[in-house]
Chains A and B, each alone.
Chain A
Amino acid sequence: MIPLAVVLVLWGVVFTLACRLTQTSPSERAGELSVAGQVFGASRMAFSSSFFTEADNYFHMGVGHVLPKAITNDFIQSWRAAIQPSGHVHAEGLAVREIMPWLEFAVRTNPHNVDAYLTAAYWLGVAGRSDLAERVLMQGQQDNPGDYRMLGERAKMLFDRHDDLKAAALLDEALRLWPSTLDPKDEQALLDLSSMLSYRAFLHELKGERQAALALFKKALAASPNNAGLDKRVRAIEAGEDMTEKDRAVWNTVFGRKMKDSREGEAGRIPRDDDDDEMN
């Protein structure tokens, strides 16, 4: 009887432990890591980086980066040059889709590989699939909630679709999150900041909020001091000049958007404050 009792007690302990241990999924216990993440650990970042490099290799049609060599004139190197793809070529048209699987692998192995998300979204946009591009950016945003880059790119897509209210909201949030994990002095981070500030300032100008626009253009100029277009816009606003037709055409080109005159109706456009005054 005593051994049976011991067995029953031990079984009860094991059962209780099993109930406690299986209350949360393995991924939650490991801090939101997938099974692959737990198996591969930090090496998944190396895999992700390799997959991203492979995507770049595919974009260049299998031509690798050219590195300086100490041996260039023997028969091995000449055969190798004849056999391996060479030249500066880029995938075009439908061939660009071939880089997508590698970007997919890159984000699956490391959901924090923001560059992979952004590159995938960019090329999906170029391929005319802005719906898929936005879906990718939203997934990236979900995996990297503190990163401004996804928000900035989404804002630009909404800007192109003339969804100015949402674009403005996303830009404000992206600017709040800048520089996220990047170094504030990083060249790309400063370019992103200047770009987002410019877009936001342009949206202010569309609403007729010139002072708000001026403040943001000045910040953008501080981030990109050599930008002649920004410098010209700041001076123009400070001088009280209105946006001329030529300015409008230039900014339309810069922001890649066909903008009509502010007095004409346009779906999704934020109305200017002085429109009502003039009509009254």
Chain B
Amino acid sequence: MNRTTTISSVVWIEMIRRKDVYVLLILLLALLFILMSLNVFGLGAVVGYVADIGLVFAWLFSVILCVSLTARQLPQEEAKGTIYPLLAKPITRAELVLGKWLGAWSASAACTLLFYAVILVVLRLRGGSLNVACLAQAVLLHLVALAIVGGCALLCSTRMTYGAAASVGYVVLAACFAVVPRVPELLMYERGASSTAMLGLYYALPHLELFDLRQRLVHDWGPAPWGVVGGVVLYGLLWAVIFITLSWMAYRNKRFKRGAMSA
């Protein structure tokens, strides 16, 4: 486990050095302050939209950060040639894959918590607040969703360059967020091969909409049943394990050629 955490720490150092998170944080702050400065028809003390839009961008930025951070790890090592001295050390490919995923996920999770903290501070300045229990559930599910996102990006990166892995990762995740939740409604009007394809997507891809508690949080519906939240967490962890396992299986027998994965 020490070797895994050592690899994870390298991912952290890289994230801090690359400054991606600072840019996203500044963007989020700028957006929130613009929203706060709006004078809505002369009314004051309206905060729901600040929380809603802030949370949308927290999700968006966290997914962007997680995908870019994770998809970069393995291709970058191969492109720079540092994969050779790395694998020459007493480290298995499973530890390497797990360490990269753990580093990217933990770094993205920390940034996500920072985004939530910024949103809460801004809301407080505006006189608003969020239900604490519901917020805790929302954060927990968000972090579990990032585990799936990171796993998906990692799987893509085992056999593709960074650009291709990130692109495919974004497409798959966009399908998970936008298409998969609507399959039950779309199936009412589809028949034959398209219906089968949609069912395939429905069962083959993770349902990330289960991890999104924004509507509940923003409209103050209170916490969801803890039993259901526990089930969703287990579902998310299972998907993360599946993606990491597939990544290990795709990477364990991979042969490297110098210069083959250069961007």
Do the two shown chains form a genuine complex with each other? Answer: yes
B231 interface residue (CB < 8 Å to A)? yes
B48 interface residue (CB < 8 Å to A)? yes
B197 interface residue (CB < 8 Å to A)? no
- Count B-side interface residues using an 8 Å CB cutoff: 33
CB within 8 Å of A: which B12-46 residues: 38, 40-43, 45-46
Query: A62, A82, A101: which contacts B219 (Cβ < 8 A)?
Result: A62
In the complex the two chains form, is B218's CB within 8 Å of A62's CB?
Answer: yes
Query: A69, A76, A98, A103: which contacts B188 (Cβ < 8 A)?
Result: A69
Of A75, A83, A97, the most chain B CB neighbours within 10 A belong to A83
A77 interface residue (CB < 8 Å to B)? yes
In the complex the two chains form, is B184's CB within 8 Å of A77's CB?
Answer: yes
Q: Which residue of A lies closest to B183 (CB)?
A: A71
B210: chain A residues at CB < 8 Å are: 76, 79-80, 83
CB within 8 Å of A: which B228-243 residues: 228-229, 231-232, 235
| Per-residue B-contact encoding for A99-114, CB less than 8 Å = 1, 0 else | 0111110000000000
B49 interface residue (CB < 8 Å to A)? yes
In the complex the two chains form, is A100's CB within 8 Å of B46's CB?
Answer: yes
A62–B263 Cα gap in the complex (Å)?
Answer: 44
Q: A83 and B207 in contact (CB under 8 A), knowing A71-B184, A97-B43, A102-B49? A: no
A97: chain B residues at CB < 8 Å are: 43, 45-46
B187 interface residue (CB < 8 Å to A)? yes
In the complex the two chains form, is A79's CB within 8 Å of B219's CB?
Answer: no
A58–B188 Cα gap in the complex (Å)?
Answer: 27
A67 interface residue (CB < 8 Å to B)? yes
B83 interface residue (CB < 8 Å to A)? no
A75–B202 Cα gap in the complex (Å)?
Answer: 13
Query: B46, B219, B229: which contacts A85 (Cβ < 8 A)?
Result: B219
CB within 8 Å of A: which B185-208 residues: 185, 187-188, 202, 207
Query: B183, B219, B224, B228: which contacts A61 (Cβ < 8 A)?
Result: B219
Q: Which residue of B lies closest to A104 (CB)?
A: B40
Smallest CB–CB gap between B195 and chain A, Å?
A: 9
Q: Which residue of B lies closest to A105 (CB)?
A: B49
In the complex the two chains form, is A70's CB within 8 Å of B188's CB?
Answer: yes
A189 interface residue (CB < 8 Å to B)? no
Of A69, A70, A71, the most chain B CB neighbours within 10 A belong to A70
In the complex the two chains form, is A135's CB within 8 Å of B49's CB?
Answer: no
B77 interface residue (CB < 8 Å to A)? no
Q: A84 and B188 in contact (CB under 8 A), knowing A79-B231, A104-B40, A120-B41? A: no
A80–B212 Cα gap in the complex (Å)?
Answer: 10
Q: A98 and B48 in contact (CB under 8 A), knowing A71-B183, A83-B213, A135-B42? A: yes
A100: chain B residues at CB < 8 Å are: 40-41, 43, 46
B225: chain A residues at CB < 8 Å are: 82
Smallest CB–CB gap between B154 and chain A, Å?
A: 24
In the complex the two chains form, is B48's CB within 8 Å of A58's CB?
Answer: yes
Smallest CB–CB gap between B202 and chain A, Å?
A: 7
